């Protein structure tokens, strides 16, 4: 019988995140295989003590990662299921590990030889978990706590690299599809630089970012032919709400812009999957100031079309006005932005109605031959004053604003609106009751 080291990680660790972690820590040429299965309704099972997630079906995940470490060719096996039967609880209670059994767990196994224990200990430091060094012994599992300092940048980096909306994941597939795109280049941010985006030691952090910009980014921009006015974002977040200090900048403002974007991403909760692992620099599509006003401190208020396209079905699903009045106006906090948006409402809405079919036709024609993307995505088209359409952004549909407006979702949308109204009414009643007690 083969002997393995077993590591039970805290919670549901996404397999793609684990894979990126293995590539970062052990072998950048690692390979993976993954399978998810649905085994039927949970209600039909016996002895289920806990269910994780919202699914009512018994779901399992299996995968393996092959890699080389210190000359050893290794296979790391991964297993997760969304139910817990507390299997083996009595046995592990005697070993003082009842908490391990009762926790939602991703389980890893690797052959017990060579550097197996070292590999498992290293992974555990980034997620936390319980390690059984060899599964043929009765030694109690050893608890390994998450080590916060390495996780702050290495673990964060691995999570971001696994995100589907990263610019580097979709840009290569569409940049030559036939729709006009801004000239763009992407830089991979070194993992050791990520901790400096937290700005805990500002002088040291700013100096580290500036050194990277001067030594890597500026030469890269020169080689890519990107000079003058630039549009800057990270892999998935651009901080357009503070445009003149973040995304609409000159080359000598790059360091401050990168820091502003990534710090803002952290502050608003967009850092997990917010693209810290990448810097994207793009040609800025100039606007006519005589025709198009700006909001958000410098962002041109040009017509934009969010076209939802299914790469599996090869068809346009529907299109939303990116600047939908009901969705945007209430979220504008600057009084000047509200005045401008009110003034431009008629132009934006009439242009959307007039050009919507053309935007959909453009996406349908050119996305049909795109390879490497699957399922529904949002495709953002921006229209210049001259009527030219530029593909400026994309994201998985489920993670895009306006996906809730998709055909067939009307009932859920109506139910959500009713629930929101109920919650608002409840809050008003509680506030009224509190005022009466004063």
Q: What does 178-219 look like in DSSP terms, one character per residue?
A: SSB---EEEEEPPGGGGGGGG-SSHHHHHHHHHHHIIIIIHH
**What length is written for the chain?**
438
Q: Quote the CA–CA distance of 111 and 215 in Å, as a whole number.
A: 43
pLDDT tens for the 438 residues of the chain, in order: 468 899 999 888 889 888 988 888 888 889 999 998 888 888 888 888 888 888 888 999 999 999 998 888 999 999 999 988 888 788 877 778 788 888 888 999 999 888 899 899 888 888 888 998 887 767 788 888 876 554 445 555 555 555 778 898 899 999 999 999 999 999 988 878 877 887 888 899 999 999 999 999 999 999 999 988 899 998 888 888 888 888 888 888 999 999 888 888 777 655 444 578 889 999 999 999 889 999 999 999 999 999 999 999 999 999 999 999 999 998 888 999 999 999 999 999 999 999 999 999 999 999 999 998 989 999 999 999 999 999 999 998 988 889 989 988 877 777 777 776 777 777 677 777 666 766
Q: How many CB atoms lie within 10 A of CB 229?
A: 13
380 neighbors 303 (Cβ within 8 angstroms) = no
Q: What is the pLDDT of residue 347?
A: 96
Q: What is the pLDDT of residue 273?
A: 46
Q: Quote the CA–CA distance of 251 and 220 in Å, as a whole number.
A: 12
Q: What is the pLDDT of residue 268?
A: 62
Q: What is the pLDDT of residue 157?
A: 55
Q: Quote the CA–CA distance of 367 and 174 in Å, as a whole number.
A: 8
- Which of 396, 324, 402, 407 shows the shortest CA–CA distance to 163? 396
Q: What is the pLDDT of residue 146?
A: 76
Residue 319, beta-bridge partner list: 307
**Sheet of 389-396, strand order:** 315-321, 304-310, 376-383, 389-396
Q: What is the pLDDT of residue 152?
A: 47
Q: Quote the CA–CA distance of 263 and 295 in Å, as a whole number.
A: 21
Non-local (6+) Cβ contacts of 168 within 8 A are: 186, 188, 235, 278
């Amino acid at each position: 019988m083969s002997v393995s080291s077993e590591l039970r990680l805290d919670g549901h660790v996404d397999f793609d995140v684990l894979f990126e972690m293995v590539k970062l820590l052990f072998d950048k040429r690692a390979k993976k295989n993954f399978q998810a299965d649905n085994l039927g309704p949970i209600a039909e099972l016996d002895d289920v003590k806990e269910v994780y997630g919202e699914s009512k079906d018994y779901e399992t995940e299996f995968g393996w990662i092959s890699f080389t470490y210190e000359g050893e060719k290794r296979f790391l096996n991964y297993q997760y299921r969304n139910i817990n039967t507390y299997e083996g609880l009595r046995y592990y209670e005697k070993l003082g590990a009842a908490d391990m059994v009762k926790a939602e767990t991703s389980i890893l196994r690797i052959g017990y030889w060579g550097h197996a224990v070292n590999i498992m200990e290293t992974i555990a430091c980034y997620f936390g978990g319980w390690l059984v060094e060899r599964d043929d012994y009765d030694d109690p599992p050893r608890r390994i706590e998450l080590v916060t300092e390495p996780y702050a940048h290495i673990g964060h980096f691995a999570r971001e690299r696994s995100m589907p909306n990263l610019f580097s994941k979709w840009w290569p597939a569409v940049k030559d599809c036939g729709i006009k795109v801004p000239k763009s280049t992407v830089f991979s941010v070194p993992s050791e630089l990520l901790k400096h985006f937290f700005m805990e030691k500002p002088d040291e952090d700013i100096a580290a970012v500036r050194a990277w910009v001067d030594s890597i980014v500026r030469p890269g921009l020169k080689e890519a032919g990107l000079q003058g006015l630039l549009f800057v974002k990270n892999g998935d977040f651009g901080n357009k709400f503070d445009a003149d200090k973040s995304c609409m900048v000159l080359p000598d403002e790059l360091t401050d812009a990168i820091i502003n974007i990534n710090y803002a991403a952290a502050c608003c909760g967009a850092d997990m999957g917010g693209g810290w692992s990448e810097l994207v620099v793009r040609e800025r599509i100039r606007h006519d100031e005589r025709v198009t006003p700006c909001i958000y401190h410098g962002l041109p208020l040009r017509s934009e079309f969010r076209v939802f396209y299914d790469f599996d079905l090869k068809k346009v699903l529907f299109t939303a006005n990116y600047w939908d009045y009901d969705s945007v106006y209430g979220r504008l906090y600057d009084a000047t932005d509200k005045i401008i948006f009110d003034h431009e409402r008629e132009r934006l809405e009439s242009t959307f109605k007039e050009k919507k079919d053309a935007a959909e036709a453009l996406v349908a024609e050119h996305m049909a031959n795109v390879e490497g993307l699957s399922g529904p995505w949002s495709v953002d088209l921006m229209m210049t004053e001259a009527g030219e359409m530029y593909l400026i952004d994309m994201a998985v549909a489920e993670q895009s604003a306006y996906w809730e407006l998709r055909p067939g979702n009307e009932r859920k949308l109506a139910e959500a609106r009713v629930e929101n109204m109920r919650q608002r009414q409840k809050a008003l009643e509680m506030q009224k009751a509190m005022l009466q007690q004063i």
